[in-house]
Chains A and B, each alone.
Chain A
Amino acid sequence: MLRKSIWTGRTIAVLAYLTLASLPFIYALGRLQVVTGHSPWEAFWRFSSAYGAMDALSYTLLEATASALLTVCIGLPIAWYLGRYEWRYAGLFRALFSVPFVMPAIVAAMGFLLMIDDEGPLYFIGIDLRTETGIIGQISSLTGWEHPGHFLALILAHAWFNLSLIIRFVEPTLARLDPAWEEQLSLLGQGKNRLGRIRHLWWPVIGPAVLCAASLSFLFSFTSFALVKWLSPFNQTLESLMAAYGGSAGIENYRVDTSEIVMSASLVQFLILLCALWMTSTLQQRHSSRFSLISEGGARAARGAPHWRAKMVVYSGVIFAMGPLLAALLASFRVREGNFADGFTYNWSLEGWAAAWSGDLATMGINDALVNSLGYAFWTLCIALPTGWMLASTIHGLEMEGRTRLAKALDIATLLPLAVSAVMVGLGILLGVLRLMPELFQWHYLPVLPHVILTTPFVVRIMLPAMRSVEPKWKEQAEVLKLNGFRTWYHGYFAFLRGPAVVASSLTLAFSLGEFGASWLLVRAGSWDTLSVVVDQLMSRPKFDPLVQPAAMAAACVLMFTTFVLFLCAEKFRHEGEGGGF
């Protein structure tokens, strides 16, 4: 009876979420079909003739692949050294490396622009990625490659953004790997040399995690928008193409061309990302079920304190992760003064913060925007966490019952919101709400809807591996103690998932704060504006007024600190061995 009601509850949660997550896309697709007169199949085949679509596709594939590779190249050594030695502040390092991933893309873009401009550290060492002079200019003229600096800046920014993916996937496994394995292998013939150890130990242990992180990096780089817009202004990706033309898509008898572009591009993007998600899901399953590992403290203690090479790599990683954010912090205090005739100087002052606080340059001050952001984040958490938990437990339940194909299909289905373009979701929500209940547009909490759609897949991604790692025998042992049903469940099951649930909660809050989704809403009242929207508003204003830029950076810093504190809290709750991967 209890089992039946559990499955009923799970079915309702699954159907509700899948309906909520897929309806916007279906509505948008239906409207585009009406406007263009093309079926999805026809639109897919007409992709090559859509304005700018082929260029956007080739650039997207190139930058996403390069970004994924660079993420692995930068992130793997950091994860390796961070995971293998006894670091005094391992939790703090993990929190620091997680911050880029939850930063709003607009903040990341501004931070990187500050790093690569003519007063930034890269320019100082002779690498001019922005105006492409010096060695970058020479590469361009020798190879005929147009704007190599912008491409490099973009993939570097994507690697920065996705750094925590590879660290969070790989580092927990390395941290808990029994050092005895390595010692035993080194005694065998196959483990005598480095290549042999990589092939027979390290690749089987961390390979799936690396590939999983790489495929997720590919996915996020593929759908990146703000970083492309700011760092690579001469090129468009499929997402930025759709964002540029999406506003006028889906309107009957008006700008049919933009509807054609959005329909074709969204379908092609959807199919490519579906493949990436399938790969991610498969690899994550392999990753989470392959090894049983020992205690983290024991494994770290056995390897001892980090040597100088480990310190150099991890500290460099921290500088890489924090650099753009520190640049944004400094920029919030720098105010331009002077004029073109005599040149401009920069003064250090709190005027930017005062302007951001007063709200004179945006729809509201940062205090009001923060209250909105926290309110939306709280309600998003209240819905996304139980929904994601239910979805993960349903998938795990199906796996336990041997219905692996259905489990796999559902696993991929929960990831679908990540494959759908924000433009399509925005259009779909607009059409759906207009059709079903237009009054919702006056409901202050409407932005929670896209937040929930987008954060739930991350809750599933964190909870599912954790649920897979819970041994059934732990529950059996609790039952032996003659505890009541709730206490058996609590001590034999929930206690092992508490840590991942806290990590999932902090990630949900951080993503919601980072405005993953509210900007999708095409009808959005000014009083709903969140911190991310305020940052975007300020950055989009003409910057004749010298306070606009520092005020934008001040708003970004408040967001940055809030998310950082959240992650620091999450690390305190992260139990040893419970990972914390996404």
Chain B
Amino acid sequence: MYRTFLVLVLFMLTPLSGCLEQATSSDECVVLPAGHQDDGVLRILTYDITALSEALTDEFTNQTGVPVEMIKVDDAGGILDQMMLTKDAQQADLMIGLDNTYLPTAVANCLLQAHEVSASNLSTTALSFYDGPLALPFDQGDVCLNYDEDALNEANMTVPTSLNNLTEDEWRGKVAFPSPVTSSPGRAFLVASMEYFSTVDDQDAMAWWSEMIDNDAIITTGWTEAYETHYTGGYGEYTEGYIGDAWMTVSYCHSPGVEAFYADNYTHSTSLIIDHTSFHQIEYTGIINGAAQVEGAKLFIDYLLSTEVNTNMPENNLMYSVLEGTDLPETNGYRYHADVPSTGTTTTYEEVETNMDEWLESWKTATQQA
């Protein structure tokens, strides 16, 4: 019996030896051959971006004759993970949704190829972080802290003027952060906090994070849990699973505007405007290195950046357009309630590329030791 079982186990383990011989990545980027068969379908790797509706892709197909299929992952980080995992045989042609905290890693790992699309009407802000040949911005917004004005008024609390205020006892257990390890807004705010403490307070950012954990800050896996489940200032109160124990959370500076847009010009959420505590998040699209439908991908980038589609980003994707001269609509106080950061982060592409892994590791250590 044991011999039979041993043979069985050995049989099952045989492929393991092959698995241990994975090829290492090349330092120089070359355009890879198609990782999948070109059957005329444009495959888009994305997360659940609300703007990419069936109506939008159908319209693209009507205009160009190129059918579209979505490969969806959970979030922006999932797009990078997917491209890294399938590096040797990419299954999608176009990625839509990597943000500027992930883009440097994708570029460094040769996951994108030159798109050769000339997009002339992009705003300088949208091109401020990356203006290279591998990716183009398609939407943007500033990540910053949002707080519940009503809750602060009722508790006679003053609006914080420094991130250090949040480590005080009156904020105990009242701030929710999406984890930078698993969430892209979380990552964006981590970058902002690194810059804030190095430029404004000249303090160790990780010490602040430790103090926040000591002050019972709530860490969630993603933005949804932080904003919908814990934050008292948003629409979460009217969704299932609401707890409402946080008066402040990480979201976008224009989130109060979105709240107002959907609630007939009313919100009691606003953004905390402190210098260097926001991060200008830019989301990108780019042709995957190893794509089969390169022409279709180029056409879709053109379509995504067309005035007709991109100016609707605020309504369809709850983010700013990247086109020059556009703004949020005035409807229902969308524009009025959307806050604009005084001084955003100036962290560069190179700094993110060089430091992100180390920041994340330090953050984990700081929050675990606290």
Closest-CB distance, B161 to chain A (whole angstroms): 26
Does residue B352 face the partner (Cβ distance < 8 Å to A)? no
Q: Is the CB of A524 within 8 A of B71?
A: yes
Give residues in A with beta carbon < 8 Å to B: 15, 18-19, 22-23, 26-27, 29-31, 33-34, 51-52, 110, 113-114, 117, 130-131, 229-231, 233-234, 244-245, 247-248, 250-255, 257-258, 331, 336, 338-342, 344, 359-360, 363-364, 403, 405-406, 409, 427, 430-432, 434-435, 438-439, 441-442, 522-527, 537, 540-546, 549
| Proximity bits, B266-286, A CB within 8 Å = 1, else 0 | 111000000000000000000
Q: Is the CB of A51 within 8 A of B364?
A: yes
Q: Is the CB of B259 within 8 A of A340?
A: yes
3 closest pairs, A vs B, by CB?
Answer: A526-B70, A30-B19, A341-B266
Highest count of chain A CB atoms <10 Å: which of B1, B4, B109: B1
Query: How distant is the Cα of A403 from the Cα of B4 in the complex, in angstroms?
Result: 12
Contact residue among B84, B91, B182, B244 (Cβ-Cβ distance under 8 Å from A244): B182
- Set of chain B residues within 8 Å of A546, measured between Cβ atoms: 262
Given A359-B54, A360-B54, A526-B69, does the pair A430, B86 have CB atoms closer than 8 Å? yes
Contact residue among A29, A113, A439 (Cβ-Cβ distance under 8 Å from B37): A439
- Set of chain B residues within 8 Å of A251, measured between Cβ atoms: 81, 84-85
Query: How distant is the Cα of A336 from the Cα of B264 in the complex, in angstroms?
Result: 13
Closest-CB distance, A550 to chain B (whole angstroms): 11
Given A245-B181, A363-B54, A442-B37, does the pair A409, B5 have CB atoms closer than 8 Å? yes
- Set of chain B residues within 8 Å of A117, measured between Cβ atoms: 240-242
- Set of chain A residues within 8 Å of B19, measured between Cβ atoms: 26-27, 30-31, 34, 431, 435
Given A430-B86, A438-B91, A441-B36, does the pair A339, B69 have CB atoms closer than 8 Å? no
Q: Is the CB of A252 within 8 A of B259?
A: no
Given A18-B12, A339-B264, A543-B239, does the pair A247, B77 have CB atoms closer than 8 Å? yes
Q: Is the CB of B11 within 8 A of A130?
A: no
Q: Is the CB of B22 within 8 A of A31?
A: yes
A-B contact count (CB 8 A): 187
Q: Is the CB of A543 within 8 A of B89?
A: no
Q: Is the CB of A26 within 8 A of B13?
A: yes
Query: How distant is the Cα of A15 from the Cα of B9 in the complex, in angstroms?
Result: 10
Query: How distant is the Cα of A403 from the Cα of B324 in the complex, in angstroms?
Result: 77
Chain A residue with the shortest CB-CB distance to B263: A339
Given A33-B20, A544-B258, does the pair A525, B1 have CB atoms closer than 8 Å? no
- Set of chain A residues within 8 Å of B24, measured between Cβ atoms: 252-253
Does residue B16 face the partner (Cβ distance < 8 Å to A)? yes
Q: Which residues between 187 and 240 of chain B lie within 8 Å of chain A, taking CB atoms?
A: 218, 220-221, 224-225, 227-230, 235, 238-240
Q: Is the CB of B268 within 8 A of A340?
A: yes
Does residue B132 face the partner (Cβ distance < 8 Å to A)? no
Closest-CB distance, A8 to chain B (whole angstroms): 15
Given A434-B88, A438-B36, does the pair A537, B48 have CB atoms closer than 8 Å? yes
- Set of chain B residues within 8 Å of A23, measured between Cβ atoms: 12, 15
